[in-house]
Structure 1
C-alpha cells in the first residue's frame, strides 16, 4: 500500500515539473497574443467608416474596380481569433509542433489582415490591392540567398558573403544580358559571379583557415568596391553602354489555366523564370540535403567532421561542393536585381538584402523550407511597406524601417533558441 502511495506521489511530482524553456515559450506566446489582441481592438475602435474596397490583383483595372466589404466586421473577427488564441496560450493549450505553428500563423495572419483593413479604412479613394504577387517577386532573391546559406552552413562553412554574391551576380548578369541580348544569359552571368565569390570563400576558409565571419565581411567589401569600380568604367555613351549595362528584363510567364485561379493564380503562376526556378530550387535543395547520400554527408561534415572523416568521407571536398552549389543559388539571387527587376546595374543594387537572407537562414533554423518561408515573410514586409507608404496613417520612416525591424525581432526573440550545425565556422584539419 505504501509503495503504491509513493508511486502516486512520484507521478504527481513528475507531472508538476515543467521544462523552463516550455514556461518561457508559454509566457512569450501569451505576451505576443495579448499585444496582437490589444492592437486589433484599437484598430476596430478607431475605424469610422466600416466600408473598404479590395481587388484581387495588384492594381485597379477597367475589369476590376474593387469590391466593397465590411472592414470593421473583418477586424472584429480577427480580434476574436486573437482572443481565442490568447486564452488557449494562457491555459497552456498551444503545444509545440504543428498545432502551435498553425495557431501562431492564424494569429499572425489575423493581425496583418486587421492592420491592412485599418490602414485602408476611412480612405474613400483607395483600394486594398493583393500584396501576394509582389511578395513572391520580392522574396525571390531572399529565397535564393537563404538556400545558399543553408547549403554552406549545413556543411560547416559560415557564408556572411551572400551580400557580396548578390552584388557581383547582379553586375555580371547585367553585363551578360547586355552583351548577348538575352535575359536568360544574364542568369548564366549571375551564376558565374556567385560561384566565383563562393570559390574565394572556400579557398580562404578551408585552405588558409581564415576566420569565416571576417572573411565574409572582407568579401562583401571586395564585391562592393569591385562592382563600383567596374560600373564607373562603363561610359555613359548609349552606343557603348547598351553592350555592358543595358540588359533585357525577364518577362512574366503565365501558366495557362493555373494563372487564372483567383488570388493564387496571379501570385504563383504569373511570375518570371527566376520565380519558377526558385520554386524548383527549394524542392531540389530539400531533397538533396535530407533524401540523398550526398546530403547526409553534407550534414555530417557540418555536425562532426572528424567522425565523418573516420568513415572515409572527404570533409573538405564535400564542403567545397556545398559552398560552390550555394554560389549557384546566390548568383541567381543576385541576377534578380538586374535582369529580374530594374534592368541596369546601379551601385549597391542589392541594398542589404544579403543580410536579410542570412537572417532568414537563422530564423528558418538552417532548414531550406523554413528558411524559404522566412524569406517570404520578409518579402511580404517589403511589399506591405511599399503599399502603405502613401496612406499617411503611419510615419513613412517607420514603414521603411519595418522590414529591418521585423528581421531583428524575428531573429532576436521570436524563433526562440536556435542551434547552428555544431561545426559551423570551424575549419577541419586532417590529423
Structure 2
C-alpha cells in the first residue's frame, strides 16, 4: 500500500514542499522523513483517508522542526512564524497542486538536458538515485553528483518556482514534453519501469494542462506505442511491427491512446506530437493506409524540418509506392552515420534483391547499434541476405 501511495503522491508532496521551502534538498529530506513516519505508523494505526495531505503536513512539520533547530539558516526565518499543523486536522487541510511549477523548474533551459531528465525523474517520478543511474548506465556516485549540481544551480541561480509567462509557455512546454518523451524512449527499448514513469508524468501533465493539445498528443503517442510493448520482443529478440502478434497488443491502452488523440484534435492545434500520435494510431489499423501515413509524415516534416522524419516518410512511401520510390527519398536525406538510415537503406536494398549492397548497409548499422536487441536483429538480417551470396571478410558478393 505504501509503495503505491509513494508512486502516486511523491511528486505532489515534493512539489508542495519545494514551493513552501524553496530548497530541493530540504524538501526531499522532509518528504523522506514523512514517508518513513508513514511506514512506521500506518500499519499500526491504519492509512489516513487523505494520505497525500497527511504526508504533506507531516513533511512540513519535519522541515519546520529542523529549521527551528538550525538557527544558522537566517534567510529561512520567515518559516519560523508558520504555525505547526496538527496531524489530527490533516483531513480538513487542502494544498495547491504545485507539480506543474516543479516540472517547469526541473526543465528550466539553464539546466543541461541530462540534468533536466535526471531531476524530473527524481523530483516528479520519485525514482531513487541508484535507479536513475542504472537507467542511464552511469555509476551511482556520478548520478548523485549530477543531481546535486542541478539542485545547486536551481538554488544559486534563483530559478523561479513557477509556470512561465504566457508568451514563454510554448517554448518551455516543448522542452518539458521533450524530456518526458526522452524518458519514455529510454524505456521503450526494454526498460518498462522508465516507460511507466513517462506515462505517469504525461498523465499528470494532461491533468494539469487540459487545454494544451500537444500534451494530450504526447500522452496519446506514448500510450499507442506502449500498447505494443509485449509484442515488440520475442525471447529477447526484436520483432518488427509488421511481424508482431496483434493479439499481444494492449487494447485498453490503444483505446485510451485514441481517446487522448481525440481530445488533442478537438483543441484544433495539431503540433508535432499530435501528428505523431495520429500516425501511431493509423499503424494500429489493418490494412495500413500508407498513403495517409506518408502524407502525415510530410506534414510532420514541415513542422519539424527533421531529416529523421523525412527518413520515416521514405519508409511510408516505400510501402505505398514500392521500394525504389522509398530508396530515392532515402538517398536524398543524407544521414550517413545514423544507425536507422543505414538499416532502412539496407532493408530497401534487400527488397530490391541487391544483397551485396544490403549486407554492407546492415553491417554499417550494426557498427552503430547500441542495443543488444537491435544488434541481434541486424545480425539475423545480415545472415539472411548473405545466404544468397558468398561471405568474405569485407562483405558479401555474388
* TM-score normalised to structure 1 length: 0.24
Give the helix-richer structure, 1 or 2: 2
* TM-score normalised to structure 2 length: 0.25
